[in-house]
Amino acid sequence: MWHHKNTLFGKYEIGKLLGCGAFAKVYHARSIATGQSVAVKVINKSKITNTSNIKREISIMRRLHHPHIVKLYEVLATKSKIYVVIEFVKGGELFTRVAKGRFDEETGRKYFQQLISAVGFCHSRGIYHRDLKPENILIDENGYLKVSDFGLSAATDQIRQDGMLHTICGTPSYVAPDILVKKGYDGAKVDIWSCGIILYVLTAGYLPFNDPNLMEMYRKIYKGEYQCPKWMSSDLKRFLSRLLDTNPATRITVDQIFQDPWFRKDYKEVSFPASDDQFTLKPDEEDRTGFSLNAFNIISFSSGLDLSCLFDDSSSSENDGERFVSTEAPEKIVEKVEEVLKGETGLILKTNKNWGLEIEGEKVKFRMELEVYRLIDNLAVVEVRRRMGHVKLFNELWGEKIKPNLVSAAGQNDPPPARSL
């Protein structure tokens, strides 16, 4: 159902709502001039922060003209809204298809070949997706794969002097161990890891690393602890082991993937013409001054997460607790807390069988809990929560006495900053 009275700049008739997120609504639309179906993401400018020069970002996106990447047609703007016009992919998400049941190896290989073609193309243009997963891959009406949702992508100019990217992002089940270590990572290598997870999901029907306990899942990712189902061929198992190599230095590269026997079976090179299409930015009469926006944010507001926020808990009030990563061993962390509390009177300290402490008031109603989760030998997550009692007492005990000892010690090893829950 097309709304002829609801047109965008006289160019597009807006149809039904396809999806809605925190920053944008996505509509099915039709070009008035050509009748072509498109998708239009309508973004509220007031909800966008950390903007940058859109012309530079659109120039970057012009590099990604590939049959297996969703096309960006143009960006339009009013005083309060931004309209991103992209290719409409009718078939929906790859996730929806694999959720109905795993694919056979031949089908999984076909999709994976298309995925690597797209990912390799991105890398050759200096773009790293960083949130590859079946939910961000679309299938068109002809059964061809289209990579979408570049909201967390990075370009080569974001690489620091150490040659690495440092922003911690991705989706938990698909994130590479080299991102979680938080020492910098190669964007191409983490994309390859995510591709390996996708291939496993396509051919097994479930995730290789999965656990209701987030910390336990991260531990499995660090250790590379997964098992292939018995129906996988030996060649596929071998190939997956190269994709899901926890050591980025020895993990298979895109060039090596193209040479792998399992991958090369029935592979057809993707050919496409070079494109010099110009994307346009057309502010309306009320907004002639233009605007600045990060194109990687406006192209898609993906459901992927900045992992530095994964330790947040929106259900907690501002001062109820905190989580952060430490490079101290759990035993050492607990030892330091116990040392600090030795000088405190009116408190009862209890320990549990793991690396946990419970601190209670002897005469006042107060209780706080501290838990330490080991991820790998030199990385742990510290979680503290106020369970009972006044916030002021918690802030004094934790914020002024205990936490400075833990954070300063961790700081010697370049930890991530502490984050409030």
Task: Give DSSP secondary structure letters for 279-347.
Answer: P-EEE-TT-TT-----HHHHS---S-B-GGGTT--TTS-TTSEEEEEESS-HHHHHHHHHHHHTT-SSE
What pLDDT shows up at residue 1? Answer: 56
- Residues labelled catalytic: 131
State the distance between the two ends of the chain, measured CA to CA, in whole angstroms.
45
Instruction: Count CB-CB contacts under 10 A for residue 173.
Output: 16
What pLDDT shows up at residue 45? Answer: 72
Per mean pLDDT, which range of 212-216, 297-301, 305-309, 310-314 is the poorest?
A: 297-301
The larger pLDDT score, comparing residue 415 to residue 80, is at 80
Percentage of the residues of the chain whose pLDDT score is greater than 70: 77
The larger pLDDT score, comparing residue 146 to residue 64, is at 146
**Which residue ranges form the domains of the chain, and what is each CATH number?**
3-88 (3.30.200.20), 94-272+303-309 (1.10.510.10), 321-420 (3.30.310.80)
Mean pLDDT over the full length of the chain: 79
Are the C-beta atoms of 281 and 58 separated by less than 8 Å?
yes
CA nearest neighbour of 293 among 52, 110, 3: 52
H/E element holding 30? strand 24-31
Question: Which pTM does this prediction carry?
Answer: 0.67
Are the C-beta atoms of 129 and 152 separated by less than 8 Å?
yes
The larger pLDDT score, comparing residue 243 to residue 24, is at 243
pLDDT band at 310 (very low <50, low <70, confident <90, very high): very low
**Who's near 212: CB < 8 A, 6+ residues apart?**
none
List pLDDT tens digits, range 99-157: 899 999 999 999 999 999 999 999 998 889 988 999 999 999 898 999 988 777 778 87
Q: Under DSSP, is residue 5 helix (H, G, I), strand (E, B) or coil?
A: strand
